Structure 1
Amino acid sequence: MSERVTAGVVLIGDELLSGRTRDINLQQIAQFLAPLGIPVVECRTVSDEEDHIVEAVNALRARCTYVFTTGGIGPTHDDITADSVAKAFGVHIGERADAMAILDEWYSKTDTPLTESRRRMARIPDGATLVDNPVTGAPGFQIGNVFVMAGVPKIARGMLEDIAPRLTRGAVTHAVTVSAGGLREGDIADALRALQAGHPGVSLGSYPFFVEQPGGSIKRGTNLVARSTDEGELEAVAQALEAMVREAGGTPARISD
Protein backbone atom coordinates (compact mmCIF):
# COMPACT_ATOMS: atom_id res chain seq x y z
CA MET A 1 0.00 0.00 0.00
CA SER A 2 1.21 3.49 -0.78
CA GLU A 3 -0.14 5.01 2.42
CA ARG A 4 -0.03 3.49 5.87
CA VAL A 5 -3.36 3.15 7.66
CA THR A 6 -3.08 4.23 11.30
CA ALA A 7 -5.21 4.79 14.37
CA GLY A 8 -5.15 7.15 17.32
CA VAL A 9 -7.02 6.62 20.59
CA VAL A 10 -8.40 9.21 23.01
CA LEU A 11 -9.33 7.80 26.42
CA ILE A 12 -11.63 10.21 28.22
CA GLY A 13 -12.40 10.33 31.91
CA ASP A 14 -11.26 11.77 35.22
CA GLU A 15 -11.55 8.27 36.69
CA LEU A 16 -8.71 7.09 34.45
CA LEU A 17 -6.37 9.93 35.39
CA SER A 18 -7.10 9.59 39.10
CA GLY A 19 -6.24 5.91 39.04
CA ARG A 20 -9.69 4.90 40.24
CA THR A 21 -10.37 2.97 37.03
CA ARG A 22 -7.81 0.93 35.13
CA ASP A 23 -8.15 1.27 31.38
CA ILE A 24 -8.37 -1.81 29.18
CA ASN A 25 -9.90 -0.12 26.14
CA LEU A 26 -6.55 0.77 24.57
CA GLN A 27 -5.48 -2.86 24.64
CA GLN A 28 -8.72 -4.18 23.19
CA ILE A 29 -8.84 -1.52 20.46
CA ALA A 30 -5.24 -2.25 19.45
CA GLN A 31 -5.85 -5.99 19.46
CA PHE A 32 -9.04 -5.57 17.42
CA LEU A 33 -7.37 -3.35 14.80
CA ALA A 34 -4.11 -5.30 14.43
CA PRO A 35 -5.56 -8.07 12.21
CA LEU A 36 -7.06 -5.33 10.03
CA GLY A 37 -3.62 -3.87 9.41
CA ILE A 38 -4.34 -0.72 11.42
CA PRO A 39 -1.72 -0.08 14.10
CA VAL A 40 -2.41 2.29 16.97
CA VAL A 41 0.35 4.89 16.75
CA GLU A 42 -0.71 7.31 19.48
CA CYS A 43 -2.93 7.37 22.55
CA ARG A 44 -3.93 10.23 24.82
CA THR A 45 -5.76 10.09 28.14
CA VAL A 46 -7.61 13.31 28.92
CA SER A 47 -9.87 14.63 31.65
CA ASP A 48 -13.58 15.40 31.38
CA GLU A 49 -12.83 18.93 30.20
CA GLU A 50 -14.08 20.20 26.87
CA ASP A 51 -10.93 22.02 25.80
CA HIS A 52 -8.76 18.97 26.54
CA ILE A 53 -11.03 16.66 24.54
CA VAL A 54 -11.26 19.09 21.61
CA GLU A 55 -7.49 19.53 21.44
CA ALA A 56 -6.79 15.79 21.60
CA VAL A 57 -9.39 14.88 18.98
CA ASN A 58 -8.24 17.58 16.56
CA ALA A 59 -4.58 16.69 16.98
CA LEU A 60 -5.06 12.98 16.40
CA ARG A 61 -7.59 13.24 13.56
CA ALA A 62 -5.07 15.37 11.66
CA ARG A 63 -2.30 12.80 12.10
CA CYS A 64 -4.08 9.44 12.00
CA THR A 65 -6.30 7.72 9.46
CA TYR A 66 -8.83 6.97 12.20
CA VAL A 67 -9.43 8.12 15.75
CA PHE A 68 -11.31 6.16 18.42
CA THR A 69 -12.56 7.85 21.57
CA THR A 70 -13.89 6.05 24.63
CA GLY A 71 -15.88 7.46 27.52
CA GLY A 72 -18.15 10.39 28.20
CA ILE A 73 -21.28 9.57 26.17
CA GLY A 74 -23.57 8.51 29.01
CA PRO A 75 -26.53 10.30 30.67
CA THR A 76 -24.78 12.27 33.42
CA HIS A 77 -23.62 15.88 33.63
CA ASP A 78 -19.95 14.98 33.16
CA ASP A 79 -20.61 13.07 29.93
CA ILE A 80 -19.47 15.82 27.56
CA THR A 81 -17.69 13.92 24.81
CA ALA A 82 -20.42 14.33 22.18
CA ASP A 83 -20.52 18.10 22.72
CA SER A 84 -16.73 18.30 22.68
CA VAL A 85 -16.43 16.35 19.43
CA ALA A 86 -19.10 18.55 17.85
CA LYS A 87 -17.05 21.58 18.87
CA ALA A 88 -13.88 19.99 17.45
CA PHE A 89 -15.62 19.68 14.08
CA GLY A 90 -17.38 23.03 14.35
CA VAL A 91 -20.88 21.59 13.95
CA HIS A 92 -24.18 21.83 15.82
CA ILE A 93 -25.29 19.06 18.16
CA GLY A 94 -28.88 18.18 18.98
CA GLU A 95 -31.31 15.38 19.71
CA ARG A 96 -31.56 13.04 16.72
CA ALA A 97 -34.78 11.25 15.86
CA ASP A 98 -33.08 8.00 14.84
CA ALA A 99 -31.02 7.88 18.04
CA MET A 100 -34.12 8.74 20.06
CA ALA A 101 -36.05 5.90 18.43
CA ILE A 102 -33.33 3.44 19.40
CA LEU A 103 -33.42 4.58 23.02
CA ASP A 104 -37.21 4.53 23.13
CA GLU A 105 -37.35 0.97 21.82
CA TRP A 106 -34.54 -0.23 24.08
CA TYR A 107 -35.95 1.18 27.31
CA SER A 108 -39.52 0.18 26.53
CA LYS A 109 -38.41 -3.45 26.41
CA THR A 110 -37.30 -3.27 30.03
CA ASP A 111 -40.07 -0.97 31.22
CA THR A 112 -37.44 1.63 32.12
CA PRO A 113 -38.41 5.31 32.02
CA LEU A 114 -36.71 7.35 29.32
CA THR A 115 -35.80 10.31 31.51
CA GLU A 116 -34.44 13.65 30.37
CA SER A 117 -31.00 12.52 31.49
CA ARG A 118 -31.22 9.40 29.34
CA ARG A 119 -32.44 11.48 26.38
CA ARG A 120 -29.04 13.18 26.45
CA MET A 121 -27.65 10.02 24.86
CA ALA A 122 -29.66 10.81 21.70
CA ARG A 123 -27.74 14.06 21.16
CA ILE A 124 -25.61 13.57 18.05
CA PRO A 125 -23.45 16.07 16.11
CA ASP A 126 -24.77 17.15 12.72
CA GLY A 127 -23.41 15.00 9.90
CA ALA A 128 -22.56 12.04 12.11
CA THR A 129 -23.66 8.46 11.48
CA LEU A 130 -24.67 6.20 14.35
CA VAL A 131 -22.62 3.32 15.72
CA ASP A 132 -24.65 0.38 16.96
CA ASN A 133 -24.51 -0.55 20.65
CA PRO A 134 -25.71 -4.15 21.05
CA VAL A 135 -25.14 -4.14 24.81
CA THR A 136 -27.11 -1.21 26.22
CA GLY A 137 -28.71 0.39 23.18
CA ALA A 138 -27.39 3.96 23.45
CA PRO A 139 -25.50 4.52 20.18
CA GLY A 140 -22.06 5.86 19.56
CA PHE A 141 -21.34 7.79 16.37
CA GLN A 142 -18.89 8.44 13.58
CA ILE A 143 -18.08 11.89 12.30
CA GLY A 144 -15.36 12.21 9.70
CA ASN A 145 -12.57 9.84 10.67
CA VAL A 146 -13.51 9.88 14.36
CA PHE A 147 -15.43 7.08 16.06
CA VAL A 148 -16.98 7.94 19.42
CA MET A 149 -17.59 4.96 21.69
CA ALA A 150 -18.67 4.20 25.24
CA GLY A 151 -16.11 3.85 28.02
CA VAL A 152 -17.42 0.56 29.42
CA PRO A 153 -15.13 -2.01 27.77
CA LYS A 154 -17.87 -4.53 26.97
CA ILE A 155 -19.92 -1.84 25.24
CA ALA A 156 -16.90 -0.46 23.38
CA ARG A 157 -16.08 -3.97 22.15
CA GLY A 158 -19.58 -4.36 20.75
CA MET A 159 -19.33 -1.02 18.98
CA LEU A 160 -16.07 -2.04 17.32
CA GLU A 161 -17.91 -4.84 15.54
CA ASP A 162 -20.20 -2.28 13.88
CA ILE A 163 -17.27 -0.03 13.04
CA ALA A 164 -15.04 -2.67 11.43
CA PRO A 165 -16.79 -2.79 8.01
CA ARG A 166 -16.31 0.97 7.66
CA LEU A 167 -12.52 0.78 7.93
CA THR A 168 -9.97 0.65 5.14
CA ARG A 169 -7.57 -2.15 5.88
CA GLY A 170 -3.82 -1.81 5.81
CA ALA A 171 -0.87 -4.18 5.63
CA VAL A 172 -0.93 -6.54 8.61
CA THR A 173 2.07 -6.31 10.92
CA HIS A 174 3.44 -9.70 11.99
CA ALA A 175 5.51 -10.28 15.11
CA VAL A 176 8.10 -12.79 16.29
CA THR A 177 9.35 -13.01 19.87
CA VAL A 178 12.71 -14.56 20.70
CA SER A 179 13.31 -15.09 24.41
CA ALA A 180 16.92 -14.58 25.44
CA GLY A 181 17.12 -16.64 28.61
CA GLY A 182 19.88 -15.60 30.98
CA LEU A 183 20.69 -12.35 29.20
CA ARG A 184 20.02 -8.81 30.30
CA GLU A 185 19.32 -5.95 27.92
CA GLY A 186 22.82 -4.55 28.34
CA ASP A 187 24.36 -7.84 27.24
CA ILE A 188 22.88 -7.55 23.75
CA ALA A 189 22.20 -3.83 23.31
CA ASP A 190 25.09 -3.19 20.90
CA ALA A 191 24.33 -6.22 18.73
CA LEU A 192 20.63 -5.37 18.70
CA ARG A 193 21.39 -1.82 17.61
CA ALA A 194 23.53 -3.09 14.73
CA LEU A 195 20.82 -5.55 13.65
CA GLN A 196 18.23 -2.77 13.67
CA ALA A 197 20.45 -0.58 11.52
CA GLY A 198 20.67 -3.35 8.94
CA HIS A 199 16.91 -3.89 8.82
CA PRO A 200 15.14 -0.51 8.91
CA GLY A 201 11.92 -2.14 7.69
CA VAL A 202 11.67 -4.20 10.87
CA SER A 203 10.87 -2.75 14.28
CA LEU A 204 12.97 -4.29 17.05
CA GLY A 205 12.28 -4.01 20.77
CA SER A 206 13.72 -5.55 23.92
CA TYR A 207 11.73 -6.23 27.08
CA PRO A 208 13.41 -7.59 30.23
CA PHE A 209 11.59 -10.10 32.41
CA PHE A 210 11.99 -11.29 35.98
CA VAL A 211 10.20 -14.49 36.98
CA GLU A 212 10.24 -15.74 40.55
CA GLN A 213 11.02 -19.45 40.76
CA PRO A 214 10.08 -21.99 43.46
CA GLY A 215 12.36 -21.37 46.39
CA GLY A 216 12.56 -17.64 45.78
CA SER A 217 15.21 -17.47 43.06
CA ILE A 218 14.69 -15.10 40.13
CA LYS A 219 14.89 -16.13 36.49
CA ARG A 220 16.09 -13.23 34.39
CA GLY A 221 16.08 -12.71 30.68
CA THR A 222 15.05 -10.48 27.82
CA ASN A 223 12.33 -10.95 25.25
CA LEU A 224 13.30 -9.62 21.84
CA VAL A 225 10.35 -8.69 19.64
CA ALA A 226 10.56 -8.10 15.89
CA ARG A 227 7.62 -6.62 13.96
CA SER A 228 7.20 -6.14 10.23
CA THR A 229 4.71 -6.34 7.39
CA ASP A 230 7.31 -8.30 5.39
CA GLU A 231 7.17 -11.91 6.61
CA GLY A 232 10.29 -12.92 4.67
CA GLU A 233 12.46 -10.23 6.20
CA LEU A 234 10.88 -10.89 9.59
CA GLU A 235 11.97 -14.53 9.49
CA ALA A 236 15.51 -13.52 8.52
CA VAL A 237 15.66 -11.13 11.46
CA ALA A 238 14.26 -13.77 13.83
CA GLN A 239 17.03 -16.16 12.85
CA ALA A 240 19.58 -13.39 13.31
CA LEU A 241 18.19 -12.74 16.79
CA GLU A 242 18.55 -16.39 17.71
CA ALA A 243 22.16 -16.40 16.51
CA MET A 244 22.83 -13.18 18.40
CA VAL A 245 21.52 -14.66 21.65
CA ARG A 246 23.67 -17.77 21.28
CA GLU A 247 26.77 -15.69 20.56
CA ALA A 248 26.13 -13.68 23.73
CA GLY A 249 25.94 -16.88 25.78
CA GLY A 250 22.18 -17.08 26.14
CA THR A 251 19.59 -19.67 25.22
CA PRO A 252 17.16 -18.52 22.51
CA ALA A 253 13.56 -19.71 22.36
CA ARG A 254 10.76 -18.53 20.13
CA ILE A 255 7.53 -17.58 21.85
CA SER A 256 4.17 -17.60 20.11
CA ASP A 257 2.48 -14.19 20.18
Structure 2
Amino acid sequence: MAEATGRTGEAPVTAAMLVIGDEILSGRTKDRNIGYVAEFLTNIGIDLKEARVVADDIQDIADAVNALRARYTYVFTSGGIGPTHDDITADGIAHAFGVPVIHHPRAVEILKEYLGDRINEARLRMARMPEGAELIENTVSKAPGWRIGNVHVMAGIPAVMQAMMDAIGPTLRTGARMLSETVEGRGIKEGDIGGPLGQIQAVHKDVMIGSYPHSDGTRFTTSIVIRARDAGALAAARREVEALVDRLAAETGD
Protein backbone atom coordinates (compact mmCIF):
# COMPACT_ATOMS: atom_id res chain seq x y z
CA MET A 1 0.00 0.00 0.00
CA ALA A 2 1.40 3.37 -0.96
CA GLU A 3 0.08 6.70 0.19
CA ALA A 4 1.36 10.16 -0.58
CA THR A 5 0.55 12.87 1.90
CA GLY A 6 -0.42 16.44 1.17
CA ARG A 7 -0.87 19.63 3.15
CA THR A 8 -3.82 21.84 3.93
CA GLY A 9 -3.92 25.56 4.49
CA GLU A 10 -5.37 25.12 7.98
CA ALA A 11 -3.54 23.16 10.67
CA PRO A 12 -5.59 20.03 11.41
CA VAL A 13 -6.64 18.83 14.84
CA THR A 14 -4.57 15.72 15.52
CA ALA A 15 -4.71 12.74 17.86
CA ALA A 16 -2.91 9.59 18.92
CA MET A 17 -4.29 6.35 20.33
CA LEU A 18 -2.45 4.46 23.07
CA VAL A 19 -3.62 0.91 23.82
CA ILE A 20 -2.36 -0.38 27.16
CA GLY A 21 -2.14 -4.02 28.15
CA ASP A 22 0.02 -7.14 28.17
CA GLU A 23 -2.96 -9.11 26.88
CA ILE A 24 -2.90 -7.17 23.59
CA LEU A 25 0.80 -7.72 23.07
CA SER A 26 0.55 -11.44 23.87
CA GLY A 27 -2.27 -11.91 21.37
CA ARG A 28 -4.70 -13.21 23.98
CA THR A 29 -6.96 -10.22 23.42
CA LYS A 30 -7.50 -8.76 19.95
CA ASP A 31 -7.74 -4.98 19.89
CA ARG A 32 -11.07 -3.64 18.64
CA ASN A 33 -10.66 -0.05 19.78
CA ILE A 34 -8.12 1.53 17.42
CA GLY A 35 -10.33 1.17 14.35
CA TYR A 36 -13.39 2.49 16.16
CA VAL A 37 -11.56 5.54 17.49
CA ALA A 38 -10.03 6.21 14.05
CA GLU A 39 -13.43 6.21 12.38
CA PHE A 40 -15.05 8.23 15.18
CA LEU A 41 -12.40 10.94 14.99
CA THR A 42 -12.33 11.06 11.18
CA ASN A 43 -16.08 11.64 11.16
CA ILE A 44 -15.77 14.73 13.38
CA GLY A 45 -12.71 16.25 11.73
CA ILE A 46 -9.82 15.00 13.88
CA ASP A 47 -6.88 13.22 12.26
CA LEU A 48 -5.65 10.12 14.07
CA LYS A 49 -1.95 10.27 13.26
CA GLU A 50 -0.45 7.52 15.39
CA ALA A 51 -1.40 4.41 17.36
CA ARG A 52 0.79 2.59 19.87
CA VAL A 53 0.46 -0.47 22.08
CA VAL A 54 2.43 -0.64 25.35
CA ALA A 55 2.74 -3.21 28.10
CA ASP A 56 1.48 -2.90 31.66
CA ASP A 57 4.58 -1.09 32.83
CA ILE A 58 4.44 2.25 34.65
CA GLN A 59 7.53 3.73 32.99
CA ASP A 60 6.57 2.51 29.51
CA ILE A 61 3.10 4.05 29.89
CA ALA A 62 4.55 7.33 31.14
CA ASP A 63 7.12 7.52 28.34
CA ALA A 64 4.50 6.87 25.66
CA VAL A 65 2.02 9.36 27.11
CA ASN A 66 4.63 12.10 27.37
CA ALA A 67 5.80 11.55 23.80
CA LEU A 68 2.29 11.55 22.36
CA ARG A 69 0.76 14.40 24.39
CA ALA A 70 3.58 16.70 23.34
CA ARG A 71 3.12 15.92 19.67
CA TYR A 72 -0.66 15.81 19.14
CA THR A 73 -3.73 17.84 20.06
CA TYR A 74 -5.30 14.88 21.89
CA VAL A 75 -4.29 11.48 23.21
CA PHE A 76 -6.84 8.70 23.77
CA THR A 77 -5.96 5.60 25.78
CA SER A 78 -7.79 2.32 26.32
CA GLY A 79 -7.18 -0.40 28.87
CA GLY A 80 -5.84 -0.70 32.38
CA ILE A 81 -8.37 1.19 34.51
CA GLY A 82 -10.11 -1.83 36.04
CA PRO A 83 -10.16 -3.33 39.56
CA THR A 84 -7.20 -5.74 39.39
CA HIS A 85 -3.60 -5.38 40.53
CA ASP A 86 -2.27 -5.10 36.97
CA ASP A 87 -4.56 -2.21 36.04
CA ILE A 88 -1.86 0.44 36.39
CA THR A 89 -2.79 3.02 33.75
CA ALA A 90 -3.54 5.59 36.46
CA ASP A 91 -0.10 5.06 37.96
CA GLY A 92 1.65 5.40 34.61
CA ILE A 93 -0.16 8.56 33.58
CA ALA A 94 0.23 10.12 37.02
CA HIS A 95 3.94 9.45 36.67
CA ALA A 96 3.90 11.14 33.24
CA PHE A 97 2.32 14.27 34.70
CA GLY A 98 4.32 14.22 37.93
CA VAL A 99 1.28 14.12 40.21
CA PRO A 100 0.07 11.64 42.86
CA VAL A 101 -2.69 9.07 42.38
CA ILE A 102 -5.80 9.67 44.48
CA HIS A 103 -9.25 8.14 44.87
CA HIS A 104 -11.37 10.75 43.08
CA PRO A 105 -14.18 11.67 45.52
CA ARG A 106 -16.93 11.83 42.90
CA ALA A 107 -15.78 8.58 41.30
CA VAL A 108 -15.97 6.90 44.71
CA GLU A 109 -19.51 8.21 45.14
CA ILE A 110 -20.57 6.91 41.71
CA LEU A 111 -19.18 3.46 42.41
CA LYS A 112 -20.79 3.24 45.86
CA GLU A 113 -24.16 4.38 44.50
CA TYR A 114 -24.01 1.85 41.66
CA LEU A 115 -22.50 -1.15 43.46
CA GLY A 116 -24.09 -0.83 46.88
CA ASP A 117 -22.96 -3.63 49.17
CA ARG A 118 -20.85 -5.12 46.38
CA ILE A 119 -18.29 -2.34 46.81
CA ASN A 120 -14.91 -3.55 48.03
CA GLU A 121 -11.28 -2.47 47.96
CA ALA A 122 -10.68 -3.98 44.52
CA ARG A 123 -13.65 -2.21 42.93
CA LEU A 124 -12.62 1.07 44.54
CA ARG A 125 -9.42 0.85 42.47
CA MET A 126 -11.59 2.01 39.57
CA ALA A 127 -11.80 5.41 41.31
CA ARG A 128 -7.99 5.78 41.30
CA MET A 129 -6.70 8.48 38.98
CA PRO A 130 -4.10 11.25 38.90
CA GLU A 131 -4.79 14.25 41.09
CA GLY A 132 -6.47 16.95 39.01
CA ALA A 133 -8.19 14.54 36.61
CA GLU A 134 -11.76 15.20 35.43
CA LEU A 135 -14.29 12.40 35.00
CA ILE A 136 -15.57 10.95 31.72
CA GLU A 137 -19.10 9.54 31.98
CA ASN A 138 -19.62 5.80 31.57
CA THR A 139 -23.26 4.99 30.79
CA VAL A 140 -22.59 1.25 30.47
CA SER A 141 -20.91 0.13 33.69
CA LYS A 142 -20.74 3.46 35.58
CA ALA A 143 -17.01 3.27 36.50
CA PRO A 144 -15.83 6.55 34.97
CA GLY A 145 -12.97 7.25 32.66
CA TRP A 146 -11.03 10.47 33.10
CA ARG A 147 -9.03 13.18 31.41
CA ILE A 148 -5.95 15.07 32.48
CA GLY A 149 -4.46 17.72 30.25
CA ASN A 150 -5.02 16.59 26.67
CA VAL A 151 -5.04 12.88 27.63
CA HIS A 152 -8.37 11.00 27.71
CA VAL A 153 -8.32 7.68 29.55
CA MET A 154 -10.91 5.03 28.76
CA ALA A 155 -11.72 1.40 29.46
CA GLY A 156 -10.49 -1.41 27.25
CA ILE A 157 -13.89 -3.15 26.93
CA PRO A 158 -15.13 -1.97 23.51
CA ALA A 159 -18.75 -1.24 24.52
CA VAL A 160 -17.58 0.83 27.50
CA MET A 161 -14.88 2.60 25.51
CA GLN A 162 -17.40 3.51 22.81
CA ALA A 163 -19.80 4.98 25.38
CA MET A 164 -16.94 7.05 26.75
CA MET A 165 -16.07 8.30 23.25
CA ASP A 166 -19.69 9.43 22.88
CA ALA A 167 -19.32 11.40 26.12
CA ILE A 168 -15.99 12.90 25.04
CA GLY A 169 -17.02 13.85 21.50
CA PRO A 170 -18.91 17.10 22.24
CA THR A 171 -15.99 18.42 24.33
CA LEU A 172 -13.38 18.15 21.57
CA ARG A 173 -12.09 20.86 19.28
CA THR A 174 -12.59 19.66 15.73
CA GLY A 175 -11.44 20.70 12.29
CA ALA A 176 -12.86 20.44 8.79
CA ARG A 177 -13.87 16.90 7.94
CA MET A 178 -11.73 14.97 5.52
CA LEU A 179 -13.63 14.18 2.32
CA SER A 180 -12.84 10.94 0.53
CA GLU A 181 -13.59 9.44 -2.88
CA THR A 182 -12.43 6.24 -4.58
CA VAL A 183 -11.56 5.61 -8.22
CA GLU A 184 -11.35 1.95 -9.22
CA GLY A 185 -8.34 0.99 -11.33
CA ARG A 186 -10.17 -1.41 -13.70
CA GLY A 187 -7.44 -4.03 -13.59
CA ILE A 188 -4.51 -1.59 -13.53
CA LYS A 189 -1.66 -2.76 -11.31
CA GLU A 190 -0.19 -0.51 -8.63
CA GLY A 191 3.24 -0.65 -10.30
CA ASP A 192 1.79 0.67 -13.55
CA ILE A 193 -0.05 3.58 -11.98
CA GLY A 194 2.49 4.52 -9.30
CA GLY A 195 4.68 6.86 -11.37
CA PRO A 196 1.99 9.00 -13.02
CA LEU A 197 -0.04 9.01 -9.78
CA GLY A 198 2.95 10.58 -8.07
CA GLN A 199 3.01 13.30 -10.71
CA ILE A 200 -0.66 14.09 -10.01
CA GLN A 201 0.09 14.20 -6.29
CA ALA A 202 2.95 16.65 -6.86
CA VAL A 203 0.55 19.10 -8.53
CA HIS A 204 -2.28 18.71 -5.98
CA LYS A 205 -0.44 19.39 -2.74
CA ASP A 206 -3.61 19.90 -0.68
CA VAL A 207 -4.86 16.44 -1.58
CA MET A 208 -3.80 13.01 -0.28
CA ILE A 209 -3.75 10.21 -2.83
CA GLY A 210 -3.35 6.57 -1.81
CA SER A 211 -3.19 3.46 -3.97
CA TYR A 212 -4.41 0.13 -2.58
CA PRO A 213 -3.89 -3.15 -4.49
CA HIS A 214 -6.48 -5.88 -4.08
CA SER A 215 -8.34 -8.61 -5.94
CA ASP A 216 -11.81 -7.91 -7.31
CA GLY A 217 -12.53 -11.64 -7.41
CA THR A 218 -11.23 -12.31 -10.91
CA ARG A 219 -8.06 -10.24 -11.18
CA PHE A 220 -5.67 -8.03 -9.27
CA THR A 221 -6.43 -4.34 -9.51
CA THR A 222 -5.88 -1.08 -7.65
CA SER A 223 -8.23 1.26 -5.84
CA ILE A 224 -7.13 4.90 -5.76
CA VAL A 225 -8.40 6.80 -2.73
CA ILE A 226 -8.39 10.61 -2.91
CA ARG A 227 -8.81 12.64 0.26
CA ALA A 228 -9.01 16.37 0.90
CA ARG A 229 -10.75 18.86 3.13
CA ASP A 230 -11.70 21.09 0.20
CA ALA A 231 -14.36 19.72 -2.17
CA GLY A 232 -13.02 21.67 -5.15
CA ALA A 233 -9.49 20.37 -4.66
CA LEU A 234 -10.84 16.85 -4.31
CA ALA A 235 -12.85 17.12 -7.54
CA ALA A 236 -9.90 18.50 -9.50
CA ALA A 237 -7.60 15.69 -8.41
CA ARG A 238 -10.28 13.09 -9.09
CA ARG A 239 -10.68 14.28 -12.66
CA GLU A 240 -6.98 13.79 -13.31
CA VAL A 241 -6.95 10.37 -11.67
CA GLU A 242 -9.96 9.27 -13.71
CA ALA A 243 -8.30 10.49 -16.90
CA LEU A 244 -5.16 8.54 -15.99
CA VAL A 245 -7.16 5.38 -15.34
CA ASP A 246 -9.03 5.79 -18.65
CA ARG A 247 -5.73 6.16 -20.53
CA LEU A 248 -4.05 3.18 -18.91
CA ALA A 249 -7.15 1.00 -19.27
CA ALA A 250 -7.33 1.86 -22.98
CA GLU A 251 -3.70 0.86 -23.42
CA THR A 252 -4.40 -2.55 -21.85
CA GLY A 253 -7.68 -2.99 -23.72
CA ASP A 254 -9.83 -3.00 -20.58
User: Does the pair score TM above 0.5?
Assistant: yes
Give the TM-score, by structure 2 length: 0.92
Q: After the TM superposition, list the runs of 4 or more consecutive aligned residues in structure 1 that deviate by more than 4 angstroms.
A: none
Report the AA paired with residue 85 of structure 2.
H
Deviation at 1:208, TM superposition (A): 0.5
Q: Secondary structure at the match of 2:185?
A: strand
Equivalence for 2:3: none
Write the distance in 2 (CA, Å) between the matches of 1:171 and 1:52.
34
Where structure 2 has 5 or more consecutive residues not aligned to the other structure, the ranges are 1-8
Where structure 1 has 5 or more consecutive residues not aligned to the other structure, the ranges are 213-217, 252-257
Q: Secondary structure at the match of 1:196?
A: helix
Deviation at 1:250, TM superposition (A): 6.6
Deviation at 1:21, TM superposition (A): 1.7
Write the distance in 2 (CA, Å) between the matches of 1:46 and 1:211.
36
Equivalence for 2:127: 122
Asked if 1:239 corresponds to 2:239, the answer is yes
Give the TM-score, by structure 1 length: 0.91
Q: What does the per-residue CA deviation read over 1:142-175, in whole Å, with 9 as the maximum and x for residues that have no partner?
A: 0000000001111000001111121111111111
Asked if 1:99 corresponds to 2:107, the answer is yes
Write the distance in 1 (CA, Å) between the matches of 2:82 and 2:97.
20
Is the 1:37–1:169 contact (alpha carbons within 8 Å) kept by the matching residues of 2?
A: yes
Q: How does 1:168-207 map to 2 (within 5 A)?
A: 168-207=173-212
Of the two structures, which has the highest relative contact order with CA contacts closer than 8 Å and spacing of 6 or more?
2
Report the AA paired with residue 9 of structure 1.
M
Is the 2:146–2:152 contact (alpha carbons within 8 Å) kept by the matching residues of 1?
A: yes
Deviation at 1:72, TM superposition (A): 0.4
Percent identity, please.
47
Q: How does 1:154-169 map to 2 (within 5 A)?
A: 154-169=159-174
Is the 1:57–1:88 contact (alpha carbons within 8 Å) kept by the matching residues of 2?
A: yes
Write the distance in 1 (CA, Å) between the matches of 2:250 and 2:42.
31
Deviation at 1:219, TM superposition (A): 2.4
Write the distance in 1 (CA, Å) between the matches of 2:74 and 2:92.
17
Q: What does the per-residue CA deviation read over 1:39-87, in whole Å, with 9 as the maximum and x for residues that have no partner?
A: 1011111111111111111001000000000000001111000111111
Write the distance in 1 (CA, Å) between the matches of 2:211 and 2:250.
14
Report the AA paired with residue 86 of structure 1.
A
Deviates further, 25-34 or 66-75? 25-34
Going from structure 1 to structure 2, the CA distance change for 1:21 and 1:250 (only over 3 Å counts) comes to: farther
Equivalence for 2:220: 220
Equivalence for 2:4: none
Equivalence for 1:49: 57
Aligned length, in residue pairs: 243
Write the distance in 1 (CA, Å) between the matches of 2:110 and 2:134.
13
Deviation at 1:2, TM superposition (A): 4.5
Deviation at 1:24, TM superposition (A): 1.7
Pairwise CA RMSD of aligned residues?
1.5
Alignment partner of 1:23 out of 16, 31, 44: 31
